[in-house]
């Protein structure tokens, strides 16, 4: 998918503002991820041209760190912790349940762009295992039975926002 001209200009600006730093690539990619929510191949090509760094190197960095994303994420990013403490409390079943209810696999986004499911590592809330976070809000001890309730909370939030916009 071609990136918009405006996004291209924004990426060039980010590159220019860090060009002369000693190792600017991570900072540039972080800023692009933060501003646009993902770093598609086309954006990597712009960075490659501007920074004179091979696309393969940039692609390697983007795919190595899981806080970079090649595809747009949903409005609500559901992170299910698969760290040891959560895993032994059956967090695999929790992520499977999210996947079943939303009809997507971990790493994917629902067609309406609302939800992304991610398998995450320990988020430092082991005492609350199995822990789930949605856009940073932690849901402690969230078993399989709590999954639908969490999804409903955000669907209702969306419905309320839509109703507000229509009013
Ligand atoms: S292992 Fe899940 S929060 Fe630590």
Q: Tens of pLDDT along 88-119?
A: 999 999 999 999 999 999 989 999 999 999 99
pTM above the 0.75 mark?
A: no
CA of 141 to the centre of ligand 1 (A): 11
Peptide bond into 134 cis (omega under 30): no
Residue-level pLDDT at 1: 52
Ligand 1 atom closest to the Cα of residue 84 is 1
35: Cβ–Cβ under 8 A, 6 or more apart, which residues?
10, 14
Residue ranges of the chain whose pLDDT lies below 50:
none
Residue-level pLDDT at 139: 97
Residue-level pLDDT at 2: 61
Distance between CA atoms of 160 and 53, rounded to whole angstroms? 46
CA of 84 to the centre of ligand 1 (A): 6
Residue-level pLDDT at 72: 85
The DSSP line for 82-114 is -SHHHHTTTHHHHHHHHHHHHT--TT-B-TTS-
Architecture of domain 76-166: 3-Layer(aba) Sandwich (3.40)
Ligand 1 atom closest to the Cα of residue 81 is 2
120 C-beta closer than 6 A to ligand 1 = no
CA of 105 to the centre of ligand 1 (A): 21
CA of 68 to the centre of ligand 1 (A): 21
- The pairing of beta strand 132-134 with beta strand 137-139: antiparallel
119 C-beta closer than 6 A to ligand 1 = no
**Contact between residue 132 and residue 115 where contact means Cβ atoms under 8 Å apart:** no
Residue-level pLDDT at 152: 97
Residue-level pLDDT at 34: 87
126 C-beta closer than 6 A to ligand 1 = yes
81 C-beta closer than 6 A to ligand 1 = yes
């Amino acid at each position: 998918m071609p990136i918009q001209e405006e996004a291209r200009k924004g990426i060039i600006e980010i590159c220019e503002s860090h060009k002369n730093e000693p190792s600017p690539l991570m900072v540039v990619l972080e800023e692009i991820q933060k501003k646009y929510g993902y770093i598609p191949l086309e954006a990597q090509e712009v960075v490659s041209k501007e920074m004179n760094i091979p696309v393969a190197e940039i692609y390697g960095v983007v795919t190595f760190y899981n806080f970079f994303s090649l595809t747009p994420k949903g409005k609500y990013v559901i992170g299910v912790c698969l760290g040891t403490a959560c895993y032994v409390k059956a967090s695999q079943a929790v992520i499977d349940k999210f996947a079943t209810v939303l009809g997507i696999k971990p790493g994917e986004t629902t067609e309406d762009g609302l939800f992304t499911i991610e398998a995450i590592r320990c988020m430092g809330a082991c005492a609350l295992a199995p822990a789930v976070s949605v856009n940073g809000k932690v849901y402690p001890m969230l078993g399989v039975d709590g999954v639908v309730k969490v999804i409903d909370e955000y669907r209702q939030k969306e419905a309320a926002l839509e109703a507000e916009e229509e009013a």
